[in-house]
Chains A and B, each alone.
Chain A
Amino acid sequence: MGLSTASEPTPARPADPHQPNYDDTIVKMFFTATVVWALVGMLVGVIIALQLAWWPANLGLPWTTFGRLRPLHTNAVIFAFAGNVCFLGIYHSMQRLLKTRMFNDTLSRIHFWGWQGIIVAAAITLPLGMTQAKEYAELIWPIDVVIAVVWVIFAINFFGTIAKRRVKHLYVAIWFYMSFVITIAMLHIVNSLAIPAGLFRSYPIYAGLTDALVQWWYGHNAVGFFLTTPFLGLMYYYLPKAADRPVFSYRLSIIHFWALVFIYIWTGPHHLLYSALPDWAQTVGMVFSIILIAPSWGGMLNGLLTLRGAWDRVRTDPVLKFMVVAVSFYGMSTFEGPMMSIRAVNGLAHYTNWVIGHVHSGALGWVGMISFAIIYWLVPEIWKRPLANPKGPTQHFWLATIGIVIYTVAMWAAGLMEGVQWRQVNDNGLLAHPIFLDIVHRLQPFYWLRLVGGSMYLIGAIMMAINLWRTIHGPAPQLETASTAAAGGAY
């Protein structure tokens, strides 16, 4: 049912005499930041993975313990790597979708440097132990204030660009970007409300379980509106571009967009199942989490079915390979998540490595892989030169894919094992594994295995960085075929 092509971009646009003068410098700046922070964030991830397998890697220093580096890892990969990918893709695609330059170049630069400054501040303060100890919202209040200001500047630039667009109708990618800009502002501000005690410390205005509910409303929707909706927007732009096919269903995109933005926000309490949070709130969170399968899979199906008629190219085009695996992982983790939100399943999964496996199938599989796809597609397009090593993306693809599988399988196994052993009761009605440390010891092989998978993923990213560095800074190519590169034909 090829319902339409209402507002998707025409894949191969003929030379347009009225083509606006796009600001691609800002795209290049966000690209550089993306690759740098990807390497930093993943490297810290590998280090903390090593710390769990081999505790001396904590180095005996306050600044390098797991407790301080783990927030640095999560902040770096979410807000630094994934954040810069979103900005990179949004600044590139929205100018083209709206056929206009960004609203204001100065605002673009303030957004860029402000965001990088925030990340540097995070990288300094978190190892120093300056934290609010709320997951993915650890940064201290002065940084929170700067985040709010920079985000508002981004929002002005974003909506200003929409206001001066030269295309009447907003393409589906823009809808998802809009939900990203609005919702993240709301989540960040509400969750960060606190009373300072000096420059480096503050206490939230919410206490106890109310604070927990607000935090997980924020925390789960950081997943929903930082790692999902903007990336679905990117999928809706770059997947049809790379596949050279229109989006499968316009109508499906309407339904799943509205359902996703409405339903996602309810799901936070599934992080607090079996806690003393009121039962009604837990149940609401669980029910909406299960309903969320529908709009999530709507997005997945719309992505995969866009490839209809282009599946033969998946064999040869590494950009499409990355995209297919990314969208598949999106589908898998948005199935797994709702399952884990069912109270009985959560009773086993909560607090275990299973959660870590789930998170990384989404983060490495969906966010990471679609980011690599976009980057490999965009660099030849923007710099107008083919990749220095055309085989590199395929090697990266296999290394990353196998790495993810090793990582998630190790964590699933570890999570199930510890979840079962924590709760196992013998015939006398006593705990079968009363010594917690015994279970910790049995996890060690899985922690090593996870380290292997994560390292493979990091090595793939390093290969990508080298390849792209050589592409951009290497000798200029003789034959300039940006359009072939753009269509994925160059590799």
Chain B
Amino acid sequence: MSTNDQHTPHESAKTYGQLHRRLFEGRAAFFTVAMTIAVLIGGIVEFVPMFTVSYGPERAEWITPYTPLEVAGRDIYIREGCYTCHSQMVRPMRSEVLRYGEWTRAPEYMYDRPFQLGSRRIGPDLQRLGGKYPDAWHFEHMRDPRATSPGSVMPAYSWLHERALDPADVTRSVRALQRVGTPYEGNLATMVPQEMERQGRQIVANLGQASIQTTWDREIIALIAYLQRLGVEGREHLAAQGNGQ
């Protein structure tokens, strides 16, 4: 490669460049290690405190893990990429609290794997969706979004009403969640089908009151179970605390 230094106008620049050249550019292994250290620092400084109690996100006992049916519903939420259009994060701003309800507290996410905060609101935020509409509304909305929300740009998800849930698959999910640290009761993983049926039949009964006939093992039932629990525990806890805006 060409030599340079006769073009260098400043003495300091010359030594500066020469130092870098001697120290790094001719020594690839050393250069690589130095660069790796430079890249590691930011991540370490941000991550390490996040795993401690005093600097990381809080946890709380007023949040419970997702039930098996809700796990199944959340897996459907993930599968359909709902996070590409809907956020789950009410920001602490007046307009957001007016529109969606209580702003989100850190513990509300503590069992979310993966997190689903989202990055875009093509549709509205869903953090406080639970309990906002009856089950029948969600059933109709997923079948034909424009039936409940005129002019919506959301695609219809009519296959959710036909496809059957696979309790064996949900059992695998519950076991995996247990393995990563979700504190399920000891034998829950062995009772997943029964638990799903118990919770599912309740939703079917609610739908029956709106003259909708379906069975508890449809995917839409699981999704409704998940959507109807979003933000409810947090809202109830904050209301009990008298911590409203």
Spell out A's residues near B (CB within 8 Å).
Answer: 1-10, 51-52, 55, 58, 60, 62, 65-68, 70-71, 129-135, 159, 162-163, 165, 167-171, 175, 178-179, 182-183, 186, 190, 194-198, 201-215, 217, 250-251, 254, 258, 261-266, 268-269, 271-272, 274-278, 280-281, 284-285, 288, 347, 350-352, 355-356, 418, 422-425, 430-431, 434, 436-437, 440-441
A67 to B82, CA, bound (A): 6
In the docked arrangement, what's the CA distance between A197 and B168, Å? 11
Interface size bucket, B side?
35 or more
B115 lies within 8 A of A211 (CB): yes
Residues of A within 8 A of B17 (CB): 3-4, 6, 250-251, 254
Interface contact A129-B80, CB-CB below 8 Å: yes
**Within the complex, what minimum Cβ distance (angstroms) separates A259 from chain B?**
9
Given known contacts A66-B84, A440-B153, A133 and B98 CB-to-CB distance under 8 angstroms: no
Residues of B near A284 (CB, < 8 A) are: 45-46
Would you list 23 pairs from A and B whose C-beta atoms are within 8 A, ordered by A residue? A3-B9, A3-B17, A60-B156, A66-B84, A134-B114, A165-B28, A203-B113, A203-B177, A204-B180, A206-B113, A208-B106, A209-B106, A211-B114, A261-B39, A265-B42, A275-B91, A278-B57, A278-B106, A284-B46, A288-B42, A436-B99, A436-B123, A440-B151
Q: Quick one: which of A6, A203, A263 contacts B173, CB cutoff 8 A?
A: A203
List B residues 1-28 near A (Cβ within 8 Å): 1-2, 4-5, 7-10, 13, 16-17, 20-21, 24-26, 28
Closest residue on chain A to residue B87 by CB atoms = A351
B116 within 8 A of A: yes
Q: How far is the CA of A441 from the CA of B152 in the complex (A)?
A: 8
Determine how close the nearest CB of chain A comes to the CB of B32; give it in whole angstroms: 6
Contact of B172 (CB < 8 Å), options: A197, A258, A437:
A197
Q: Which residues of B contact A268 (CB under 8 A)?
A: 46
A425 to chain B, nearest CB (A): 6
User: What residue of chain A has the Cβ atom nearest to residue B174's Cβ?
Assistant: A197
A437 close to B173 (CB less than 8 A) = no
Q: Are B119 and A271 in contact (CB under 8 A)?
A: yes
Q: Which of B27-46 contact A (CB under 8 A)?
A: 28, 31-32, 35-36, 38-43, 45-46
* Chain B 86-120: CB-based contact to A (< 8 A → 1; otherwise 0): 01010111111011000011101111111111111
Query: CB-CB < 8 A to A197: which residues of B?
Result: 172-173, 175-177
Which A residues touch B175, using CB under 8 A?
A: 197
- Please report which residues of chain B, range 200-230, place their CB below 8 angstroms from some CB of chain A when the two chains form the complex: none
Q: A133-B114, A182-B36, A440-B151 are in contact. Are A169 and B80 (CB under 8 A)?
A: no
B139 within 8 A of A: no
**Beta-carbon contact of A276 and B46 below 8 Å:** no
A489 vs B197: C-alpha distance in the bound complex, in angstroms? 73
Chain A residues whose C-beta falls within 8 Å of the C-beta of B191 in the assembled complex: none
- From known contacts A2-B7, A70-B84, infer whether A182 and B113 are also in contact, taking CB-CB under 8 Å: no
A250 to B19, CA, bound (A): 12
Q: Which of A167, A169, A266, A350 contacts B46 (CB 8 A)?
A: A266
B181 at the A interface (CB under 8 A): yes
Contacts of B21 in A (CB 8 A): 6-7, 169
Please give, as numbers and ranges, the residues of chain A lying within 8 Å of B24 by CB-CB distance.
170
CB neighbours of A431 from chain B (8 A): 95, 98-99
- The interface residues of chain B lying within 8 Å CB-to-CB of A202 are 176
* From B7, B111, B154, contact of A208 by CB (8 A): B111
